[in-house]
Amino acid sequence: MTSLEKPVGLLVVNLGTPDAPDVPSVRRYLAQFLSDPRVVDLPRFVWLPVLYGIVLNTRPKKSAHAYDSIWNHDIGEGPLKTITRKQAEKLAAIDLDGKAPVIVDYALRYGSPSIPAQIEALMAKGCERIALLPLYPQYAASTNASVADDAFDALKRMRKQPALRIGAPYYDDPAYISALAASVTRDLAALDFEPEVIVASFHGLPQLQVDRGDPYRSHCETTWRLLREALGMSEEKLRLSFQSRFGPAKWIQPYTSDVVVELATSGVKRMAIFAPGFSADCLETIEELGVEIRDLFLEKGGEKFARLPCLNDSAESMTLIETLARREIAGWV
């Protein structure tokens, strides 16, 4: 067997989830997540005392309760892990082989299975070429760059390293926009009411990170524009917002909570919301959008509310992921 005939590894990568919906597990998860300098871009001597002295002593209990409310207790997994695993399993069932076979698996940036562990596992199966496919459509240093950091930190510790590729962001990819448009159209048609306004809620980012050159906001706005064009909706019909801000610093705006309050108090009675930047439903979509934001809208005078699911492992999602996967392993198989 020549080197070009050896199996190619393909890792589908997403953010992560605690190992269990209890306080110790959530504390470990938050410690790993929030100690990443790509996530909290502050001097370590300023941030780490706050993290270990305050945040990890107060936030895990509340977060554990929220995780417990969405947990897949029958299989012992958070929904993001379940969906990412299913995406990898469905991708593995697709014939991606060429001259070299393709071995598909998944990894989580925080929690398990980790990126370093999965790279080692693929190498143990003979993969000397590995492609990572981060399922983050819009580039941010706190997501895409953090995946690269983790992967290359793993390679630093290896005597024998694999060749490594990391998938590009796909915020303006026609396959992504098409998948979103088809999914939103189908889910809106299934509702028992017609929303007056639909909100596309992206995860937020500290404004300072954008000011330093992170292209994330621009990528989100491009996705929003292309999706409006694909759906034939105006800016007033399909609104843009940013959710999940943390701490006192200014984050990119408009905030999802502010947009929803504005809609309800201005007389909008029926709305739908979805999260185009999330490839899998998780705490931020199921609990934050589906419960907290819903309750806020109804409290302020709204009457009908719907949270549309993420692409998850739907047919549209798998067509998109297959397209991205074939692009990233092109030339290797």
- Is residue 276 a contact partner of residue 180, using CB atoms and an 8 Å limit? yes
Q: What's the mean per-residue pLDDT of the chain?
A: 97
Burial environment of residue 213 by CB neighbours within 10 A (0 to 12, 13 to 18, 19 or more)? exposed
pLDDT score, position 2: 79
288 is in an annotated binding site: no
| Class of the CATH domain delimited by 174-307 | alpha beta
Q: Is the pTM of this model over 0.75?
A: yes
Tell me how far the alpha carbon of residue 49 is from its chain's centroid: 28
pLDDT score, position 182: 98
User: How big is the chain, counted in residues?
Assistant: 333
Sequence spans of domains, the chain: 3-170+316-329, 174-307
| Class of the CATH domain delimited by 3-170+316-329 | alpha beta
Low pLDDT (below 70) residues in the chain: none
pLDDT score, position 228: 98
pLDDT score, position 225: 98
299 is in an annotated binding site: no
- Is residue 111 a contact partner of residue 13, using CB atoms and an 8 Å limit? no
pLDDT score, position 249: 86
Residues 6+ positions from 142 with CB-CB distance below 8 Å: 36, 38, 39, 41, 205, 209
SS3 string, the chain, reads CCHHHCCEEEEEEEEECCCCCCHHHHHHHHHHHHCCCCCCCCCHHHHHHHHHHHHHHHHHHHHHHHHHHHCECCCCECHHHHHHHHHHHHHHCCCCCCCCCEEEEEEEEECCCEHHHHHHHHHHCCCCEEEEEECCCCCCHHHHHHHHHHHHHHHHCCCCCCEEEECCCCCCCHHHHHHHHHHHHHHHHCCCCCCCEEEEEEECCEHHHHHCCCCHHHHHHHHHHHHHHHHCCCCCCEEEEEECCCCCCCECCCEHHHHHHHHHHCCCCEEEEECCCCCCCCHHHHHHHHHHHHHHHHHCCCCEEEECCCCCCCHHHHHHHHHHHHHHHCCCC
Residue 150 to residue 155: CA distance in whole angstroms? 9
Domain 3-170+316-329 and domain 174-307 have a common topology: yes
pLDDT score, position 323: 98
Phi-psi region of 44 (alpha: psi -120 to 50; beta: other; left: phi over 0): alpha
pLDDT score, position 4: 79
